[in-house]
């Protein structure tokens, strides 16, 4: 009886193991073919002169040549610099703005739900559409919406600018519309964090005589630490994925002033078919994202300890 | 005594009076901020819709930066008929719906099935596979786009629907969201069914799926936000309009001068209104989905 039971149990176990693999296999096969294989290929290609469509010259191992060329490639270094500039400007501005919006929306005021919807609505509009509409707002003529606005608030001191055609302004213009489109997403994440702070903490602070400013800095901010970290890290990673705005508005120009890593990968790998070289950019791109993710995990585990 | 008490009382009154005054000023400032910010986030969208109703190209360029960006002067659907006549808008729209729709629907099934297996079934290699899925979450699509292009090229998949669907069905982040939800469901519910001899697939389909509708909607909505706007991949794998989704069609048709703003805005509005409508109808779920994407921290 006992033996029989064991046998049945064992058979059932074996069955479960097979079933486990069976249920997992569609996703595992797809992940393997379309994520893991390309990922490994990126590393292999980055040491070769692989072409998209193999030409007359055979594909061969070229050592670190792609990487040494990248270091000297002005378009690549410009792309790298731009991505870091985007992180340096957009991440702090967007995070602070998202937090302020969340605090504002979290007030007990009428119509806040309506305004929450309004602030979040750009997220529901795709980047290509956002870019086209902003291309209109950035019109270079004196009639242009933003030109008229800037002229108005500067009391006529600042004349019309070619926002997307001037190499010292174009990347700033792209950063502005990126913030406009993305801040609602982060706002909602902050809002969820705010609503998890127990009200009793504010009551305790009020009894201790803390004013609103003190409550914000001594209760709200510390309680939002993990949320803020998440927002900062995810915005940073998104900053390195910057692409659609550049494709639609400037195609990396003028004079590479809006070049980004992903856009340059596309130019090299797809337009010029130089997969080996593009893969080297991809590898650097991945290593940056990896470092950011590791920092995130380290800081989060620190905060839990 | 009485005098002192009264004095105290009036002091308190004064204090609460100035407090409520402060509060009222705060409220007014709060509303001013809400409205100004509301305008900032709304005006490009409003301008897009209003100007798409302007048939006359020159009056559009004259109206930019004036109040007529926001108030339609003469409503005409000329731009919209242009979009349907000069461009095959229904084709691009249908392509987008087909591509994004099937990616999401098949993805919901495939990703939740592996998550169920990872969270409930005991199999050798399970913990390793869970580790692999978690590790894959940090690889952004952009980092593998170029070698993936080589892979689909070898398969001979270029210029098709499936090249835009199959590589995106399995998604590590979706699997992780499902997994997190499933491990929170009490096992007792399934044990009774197991004793009754129900198969594992039936348990997944008839017990787990109905209990997990919140996470299914979260994954669907997040995937929709990310996939509907995809530009890089369609740009690399499609040639000509046959398999083009909306964002690429928009960029290809209206990316070069001369800029016909009316037509561009009509196309943009047509492309945006369905998603905006879906967003308004399901906005509570949208907001919850985005919020829950941040909880993993």
- Give the model confidence (pLDDT) of B129-175 as tens digits: 999 998 998 888 988 999 999 999 999 999 999 999 999 999 999 99
Tell me how far the alpha carbon of residue A266 is from its chain's centroid: 17
Closest CA to B34 of A181, A113, A191, A178: A113
Which token pair is A94? 């967007």
Is A127 an 8 Å CB contact of chain B? yes
Q: Residue B38: is its pLDDT beyond 80?
A: yes
- Select, from the ranges A295-299, B7-11, B189-193, the one with the highest average predicted confidence (pLDDT): B189-193
Is B97 an 8 Å CB contact of chain A? no
Section A208-223 average pLDDT = 88
Residue B141 CB partners (closer than 8 Å, separation 6+): B233
Is B287 an 8 Å CB contact of chain A? yes
Do the Cβ atoms of A175 and A86 come closer than 8 Å? yes
CA dist., res. B67 & res. B47, Å (int): 10
What are the angstrom distances between the C-alpha of A91 and each of A270, A292, B140, B169, B211? Answer: 29, 13, 18, 30, 38
Do the Cβ atoms of A275 and B149 come within 8 Å? yes
Do the Cβ atoms of B144 and A23 come within 8 Å? no
- Give the model confidence (pLDDT) of B177-227 as tens digits: 999 999 988 888 888 888 888 889 999 999 999 999 989 988 998 898 889
Closest Cβ–Cβ partner in B143, B279, B280 for A282: B143
- Give the model confidence (pLDDT) of B84-116 as tens digits: 887 788 999 999 999 999 999 999 999 999 999
Do the Cβ atoms of B276 and A124 come within 8 Å? yes
Other beta carbons within 10 angstroms of residue A204's beta carbon come to 13
Mutate to test the interface with B, among A104, A128, A190, A298 (most CBs of B within 10 A): A128
Is A284 an 8 Å CB contact of chain B? no
- Give the model confidence (pLDDT) of B217-274 as tens digits: 889 988 988 899 999 999 999 998 899 999 999 888 776 666 788 888 999 999 888 8
Q: Residue B290: is its pLDDT beyond 80?
A: no
Q: Which of A52-61, A225-234, B83-92, B124-133 has the lowest mean pLDDT?
A: A52-61
List A residues 207-266 in contact with B (Cβ-Cβ < 8 A).
Answer: 226-227, 229-231, 234, 237, 240-241, 243-244, 247-248, 262, 265-266
Q: Which of A52-56, A66-70, B190-194 has the lowest mean pLDDT?
A: A52-56
CA dist., res. A247 & res. A138, Å (int): 16
CA dist., res. B141 & res. B232, Å (int): 10
Q: What is the DSSP string of B86-121?
A: HS-HHHHHHHHHHHHHHHHHHHHHHHHHHHHHHHH-
Do the Cβ atoms of A159 and A143 come closer than 8 Å? no
CA distance A157 to chain B (A): 17
Do the Cβ atoms of B122 and A41 come within 8 Å? no
Residue A173 CB partners (closer than 8 Å, separation 6+): A134, A138, A163, A164, A249
CA distance A24 to chain B (A): 4
Q: What angle do CA B20, B22, B23 make, to 5 degrees?
A: 60
Mutate to test the interface with A, among B19, B24, B31, B44 (most CBs of A within 10 A): B44
Closest CA to A176 of A165, A164, A186: A164
Residue A262 three-state SS: helix
Q: Residue B120: is its pLDDT beyond 70?
A: yes
What are the angstrom distances between the C-alpha of A52 and each of A90, B167, B199, B244? Answer: 34, 18, 47, 21
Q: Residue B16: is its pLDDT beyond 90?
A: no
Q: Which of A278-292, B43-57, B69-83 has the lowest mean pLDDT?
A: B69-83
Phi, psi of B295 (to 5 degrees): -70, -20
Do the Cβ atoms of A282 and B276 come within 8 Å? no
* pLDDT confidence of residue A6: 45
Burial of A258 (0-12, 13-18, 19+ CB in 10 A): buried
* pLDDT confidence of residue A8: 47
Residues in chain B with CB shorter than 8 Å from the CB of A28 are: 114, 129, 170
CA dist., res. A183 & res. A187, Å (int): 6
Phi, psi of B75 (to 5 degrees): -85, 125
Closest Cβ–Cβ partner in A147, A180, A188 for B287: A188
Section A237-246 average pLDDT = 91
Which token pair is A120? 């979040």
Positive or negative, the CA dihedral A249, A255, A259, A263 is positive
CA dist., res. B31 & res. A38, Å (int): 51
Which token pair is A75? 């378009």
Is B195 an 8 Å CB contact of chain A? no
Section B12-39 average pLDDT = 76
Closest Cβ–Cβ partner in B65, B149, B228 for A143: B65
Q: Which residue of B has its CA nearest to A233?
A: B297
Closest Cβ–Cβ partner in B40, B69, B296 for A145: B69
Section A47-68 average pLDDT = 86
Do the Cβ atoms of A46 and A276 come closer than 8 Å? yes
Number of Cβ pairs < 8 A linking chain A and chain B:
299
- Give the model confidence (pLDDT) of A145-156 as tens digits: 888 888 888 887
Closest Cβ–Cβ partner in A118, A192, A300 for B41: A118
ipTM: 0.87
Percentage of chain A with pLDDT > 90? 46
Mean pLDDT, chain A, whole residue set: 87
Q: Residue B62: is its pLDDT beyond 60?
A: yes
pLDDT-based confidence at residue B68 (cuts at 50, 70, 90): confident
Do the Cβ atoms of B231 and A247 come within 8 Å? yes
pTM (two decimals): 0.88
pLDDT-based confidence at residue B280 (cuts at 50, 70, 90): confident
Is A89 an 8 Å CB contact of chain B? no
Q: How many helices (H) and strands (E) does chain A have?
A: 15, 0
Do the Cβ atoms of B144 and A35 come within 8 Å? yes
CA dist., res. B141 & res. A281, Å (int): 14
pLDDT-based confidence at residue A10 (cuts at 50, 70, 90): very low
* pLDDT confidence of residue B67: 75
Q: What is the DSSP string of A22-69?
A: HHHHHHHHHHIIIIIHHHHHHHHHTTB---SS--SSPP-B-TTHHHHH
Beta bridge partners of A61: A48
Do the Cβ atoms of A34 and B121 come within 8 Å? no
pLDDT-based confidence at residue A50 (cuts at 50, 70, 90): confident
Crossing angle of the two packed helices B283-293 and A112-120, in degrees rounded to 10: 70
């Amino acid at each position: 009886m006992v033996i029989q039971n064991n046998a049945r149990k064992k058979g059932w176990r074996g069955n479960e193991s097979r079933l486990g693999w069976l249920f997992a296999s569609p996703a595992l096969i797809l992940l393997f073919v379309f994520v893991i294989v390309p990922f490994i290929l990126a590393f292999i290609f980055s040491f070769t002169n692989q072409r998209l469509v193999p030409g007359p010259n055979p594909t061969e191992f070229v050592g670190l040549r792609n990487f040494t060329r990248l270091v000297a490639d002005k378009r690549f270094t410009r792309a790298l610099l731009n991505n870091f500039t985007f992180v340096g400007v957009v991440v702090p501005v967007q995070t602070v703005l998202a937090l302020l919006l969340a605090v504002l929306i979290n007030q007990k005021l009428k119509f806040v739900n309506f305004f929450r919807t309004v602030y979040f609505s750009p997220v529901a509009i795709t980047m290509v559409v956002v870019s086209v509409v902003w291309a209109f707002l950035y019109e270079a003529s004196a009639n242009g919406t933003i030109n008229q606005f800037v002229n108005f608030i500067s009391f006529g001191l600042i004349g019309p600018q070619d926002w997307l055609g001037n190499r010292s302004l174009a990347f700033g213009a792209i950063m502005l519309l990126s913030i406009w489109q993305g801040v609602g997403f982060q706002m909602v994440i902050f809002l969820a964090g705010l609503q998890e702070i127990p009200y009793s903490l504010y009551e305790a602070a009020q009894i201790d005589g803390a004013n609103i400013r003190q409550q914000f800095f001594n209760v709200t901010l510390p309680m939002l630490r993990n949320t803020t970290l998440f927002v900062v890290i995810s915005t940073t990673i998104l900053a390195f994925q910057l692409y659609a705005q550049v494709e639609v508005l400037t195609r990396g120009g003028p004079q590479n002033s809006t070049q980004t890593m992903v856009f340059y990968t596309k130019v090299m790998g797809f337009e010029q078919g130089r997969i080996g070289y593009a893969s080297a950019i991809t590898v650097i791109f991945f290593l940056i994202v990896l470092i950011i993710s590791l920092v995130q995990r380290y800081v989060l585990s620190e905060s839990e300890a | 005594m009485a005098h002192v008490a009264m004095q105290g009382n009036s002091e308190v009154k004064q204090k609460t009076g100035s407090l409520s005054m402060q509060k009222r000023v705060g409220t007014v400032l709060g509303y001013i901020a809400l409205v100004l910010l509301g305008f900032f986030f709304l005006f490009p969208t409003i301008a897009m819709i209003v100007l798409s109703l302007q048939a006359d190209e020159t009056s559009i360029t004259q109206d930019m930066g004036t109040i007529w960006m926001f108030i339609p002067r003469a409503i005409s659907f000329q731009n919209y008929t242009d979009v349907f006549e000069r461009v095959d808008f229904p084709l691009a729209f249908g392509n987008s719906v087909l591509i994004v729709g099937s990616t999401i629907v098949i993805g919901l099934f495939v990703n939740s099935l592996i998550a169920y297996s990872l969270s409930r079934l005991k199999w050798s290699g399970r913990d390793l596979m869970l580790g692999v899925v978690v590790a894959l979450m940090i690889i952004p699509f952009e980092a593998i786009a170029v070698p993936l292009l080589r892979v689909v090229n070898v398969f001979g998949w270029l210029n098709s629907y499936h090249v835009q669907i199959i590589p995106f069905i399995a998604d590590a982040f979706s699997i992780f969201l499902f997994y997190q939800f499933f491990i929170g469901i009490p096992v007792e519910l399934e044990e009774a069914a197991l004793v009754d001899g129900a198969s594992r697939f039936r348990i997944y389909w008839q017990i787990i799926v109905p209990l997990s509708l919140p996470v299914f909607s979260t994954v669907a909505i997040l995937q929709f936000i990310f996939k509907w706007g995809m530009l890089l991949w369609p740009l690399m794998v499609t040639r000509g309009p046959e398999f083009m989704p909306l964002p690429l069609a928009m960029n290809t048709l209206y990316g070069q001068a001369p800029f016909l703003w009316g037509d561009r805005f009509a196309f943009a509005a047509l492309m945006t209104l369905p998603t905006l409508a879906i967003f308004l109808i399901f906005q509570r779920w949208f907001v919850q989905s985005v919020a829950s994407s941040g909880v993993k921290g």
